[in-house]
Amino acid sequence: MEGQCSRCKIVVVGDTQCGKTALLHVFAKDSYPENYVPTVFENYTASFEIDKHRIELNMWDTSGSSYYDNVRPLAYPDCDAVLICFDISRPETLDSIPKKWQVEAQEYCPSAKLVLVGCKLDMRTDVSTLRELSKQRLIPVTHEQSCFMTLQRLNSHYSETPTQMLSKDRRVNVRSLGFLGYIQVRDSSLKNENPSLFNHPHVISNL
């Protein structure tokens, strides 16, 4: 395995302002973006090793705006995995997944793996968020709701991430996203020798 390298293209989609860009920015650059800037297309790269096998990730950040619905499909060709993001503090962003994002991903890259990512995990217990949602008789998306969507509707993987991930947590990102690189690794011994990377086929908590 030593000296081998695998490349993996990941496209990240989801409603606007659900946390896509922050997720990739922290993962690739070890820093949290100071200001929100609407995304059209942005590329991020990151690399790591699993058992002496180098994994290179090419991650495409896309706009969730309907204005770019005709442009976004340009990102999908040769995609290995699609990260479908939603905002845990905005239940409507989870509702968008089977209505829009799942349909789009399966149309343009039917063979790609789907990974559901719940962003802004800390908002699930944030007092002001709970207060605002209660005015609409809503609550944040629960872990159980997300898992149900993952297992019953998408047959995909699921992960959650807090609003701001510190640099020290980057190793957790690598551990949780490591399986994405594995889709390009054909030696099954990698999975057998690193069971902690694949300790559940669908749910990976606290990315």
Q: Which CATH number do you get for residue 84?
A: 3.40.50.300
| 139-175 pLDDT, tens digit each | 999 989 988 888 777 767 777 777 655 444 444 454 4
Q: Is residue 200 part of a domain?
A: no
Question: How many Å from the N-terminal Cα to the C-terminal Cα in the chain?
Answer: 27
Q: Is residue 158 part of a domain?
A: yes
Band of the pLDDT at 33, cuts 50, 70, 90?
Answer: low
Output the six-digit token pair for 200.
């559940």
| pLDDT, position 191 | 46
Higher pLDDT pick, 41 / 91: 91
Q: Is residue 80 part of a domain?
A: yes
Q: Is residue 112 part of a domain?
A: yes
Structural domain boundaries, residue 166: 5-185
Structural domains in the chain (count): 1
Higher pLDDT pick, 194 / 137: 137
Alpha-carbon gap, residue 140 to 130, rounded angstroms: 7
Q: Is residue 125 part of a domain?
A: yes
Q: Is residue 167 part of a domain?
A: yes
| 88-134 pLDDT, tens digit each | 999 999 999 999 999 999 999 998 888 888 888 889 999 999 999 99
